[in-house]
Every structure is written in structure tokens, then in C-alpha cells.
Amino acid sequence: MFKEKIEILQEKFFSSLSQTNINDIADSFIFLTVSSDLHISEDEVRQTIKRIKADKASDISDISNRVLQTDLAELISILMSLFNAYVIHRYHLKQFKKTQMIVLCKLKKSDYTDSKTYQFIALLDIISKALKSIMTKRLSDIAETHHMLSDAQMKVRCKWFVISTLNLLVDQIHTIWDCKIKYIVFMLSLNVVEAFNQVLHIRLLHTLKMKRTSDYIVEWACSFLKNREISLRFNEQTSDMRKINANILQKFLISSILFLFFNTSLIEKCEALKIKIKVFNFINDINILIYNKFIEEICKILSRMHDVCAKWACTHDATFASEKYEFTHFIRKSKRFDMMISI
């Protein structure tokens, strides 16, 4: 019984190798990169260790966060040397690539043969977690400083908060409404299925290079992504370690910023159409705000935008969940428009 359940749960993590066409990626092309400091400072290490919660569950190494924080004065020079060695050699230790996932049943579900009725807690190596936190901040800082991400992309970015984003959306709608031209505003919301589990490493790394990300970060990310292994712990039993072919784990903070880079080309394609739209991107949720005087034109734009998203999905091994499509009308007077028209 344990093996059968593990096989069902493994489908959530162990994706097969993709057959997606990647002929558009030119390996021989050289991208100029932005310069950034390679050396990890003592202050970076100290601030990172202090930010980590002290008593979170430890991984199979049994080193708790509190140990590092308590003995930080004695360990900081060792940790700094260790982290700098990983960065200089663009290497993520093999032991750090092993993750144990605790499987918990969600309450009051009728069918526990569906992997979606389970939730997962990742037990991560604390030293690896500190290194990933440093690299996440560095990548985020470089992205902000050199404008590598679109303003439409939110989440895990400095000074971007949910309330601020909602206020931005509301302000955008009211700005459109207050125009002399009486526009109708419509929003199409799309969700990428199992987004983190379907990230093509070669496509992600190519995007990082195109965005001129520092070489050492790209090469470290390459080492971080490949040859990862996961075991599942369920009902006090643990499965064997198994390799993951093509994904990034959602449980890592660095995964969120990497996914923003992964789907930045979709945002750019949408914004390049030069039509009356505004895009809001929350990791794997794409929200496209469309406005026009005529609802018939909005329907044409929606169809065009959907085609753009579908083509992007084909080249990025992604799938949009059709059952999660949402269409939202923002209008002051519904009688002014024909709300029965179909796309």
C-alpha cells in the first residue's frame, strides 16, 4: 500500500524529460553580463543566518538553525570560506541537492488517490538554505538594479506587497474609467499548471544569460538545478531518493525569483503588442487588464492575447489550466454594453 501511494505522489515531483522544441536557443551566442561582486562578505553571512527562523525542522543532517545562530561567532569565518568556495567554483554541493519531503493529508478530502489532496513540508539542509538565501538576494538585487524584470512581475521582489499591488490594480482601473473616452475594462486571469514542476532548465538558464545576469550566478544556478534528488516520508516510512528530471522546487525562495525570469518572455510578448493592456504577474498567475470602447474589440484582443500565451506555453513546456480561467468585468454601468457577447 505504501509503494502504491508513493508512486501516486511521485508523479507530482518526478516529471519526465521534455520533448519541447528548443531550436530557437543559440548556444554559441555570447551575452554581455553585468558586473557584480563575487565575494560573499562576513556581514552577508551574519545577516542571512540571523534572518532564518531558529527552530524550524531540520533535514536528515539534524543540524538545526539554532545551532548556527548560537555558535555564529565561532562558525562565521568557516561559513564565509565555505560559501565563497561554492560561488568561486560555481558549484552546489551534491549533499545539498537531496531533499526529504514530509507528506501530510489534507483534511476532509474524499479521494486520497489524487496527489492534490496532500500537502508537503520540505526538510532542507540549513547550510544550503543560508547559501540559497544569499544567492536569492544577490539575484534579486541585480534584477532590480539593472531592470531585468518587468514592472508587471511581482512577488518576492523588494518593496512589492500584496496590498500595494491591489491598490495599483484599483488605481489603474479608476484611471481608465476617468478618461474622457468611456472605456470598458476587462481582466483575463490565467494560471500555469504545476508551474514549478515544469520549468525547463535550459530555457531558464538561457533567459538568465539573455538578461545579462552575472556569469557566476548563472553557472551556480546551473549546478543548483541539475541532479536534484527527493525522498518522500509518509506514514512513518521513507522512500528511496529519486532524481528529478526537469523542475525547480516550489519550497525554495530562490525558485520564485527564478520562475519570474522563466516567464518574463511571456510578459514581454504581451506588452510588445502595443494594444491597450496592462499585465500583472504573480509567479504562475498571469492577469491581463484590457480596455477598449467596444466590447467586441475586447473579445478580439482577448483571443489574440490567448494565442500569444498558448504559443509561449508550447515553447516552454507549460500548460494553462483552462478550468481556472477567469474573466472579470470592471464597469460602472452594465446597461451601456452588450454583456451577452461571446468570444
pLDDT digits (tens, 9 = 90+) for 19-31: 666 777 765 456 6
- Tell which residue, 322, 321, 15, has the closest CA to residue 198: 15
Say what the pLDDT of residue 218 is: 93
Q: How far is CA 74 from CA 68, 78, 83, 126, 145, in A?
A: 9, 8, 16, 17, 34
| pTM, two decimal places | 0.82
- The CA distance from 343 to 203, in Å, is 32
Say what the pLDDT of residue 101 is: 83
Say what the pLDDT of residue 161 is: 56
Say what the pLDDT of residue 269 is: 87
Residue segments in the chain with a per-residue pLDDT below the cut of 50: 28
Say what the pLDDT of residue 16 is: 56
Say what the pLDDT of residue 79 is: 94
Say what the pLDDT of residue 335 is: 60
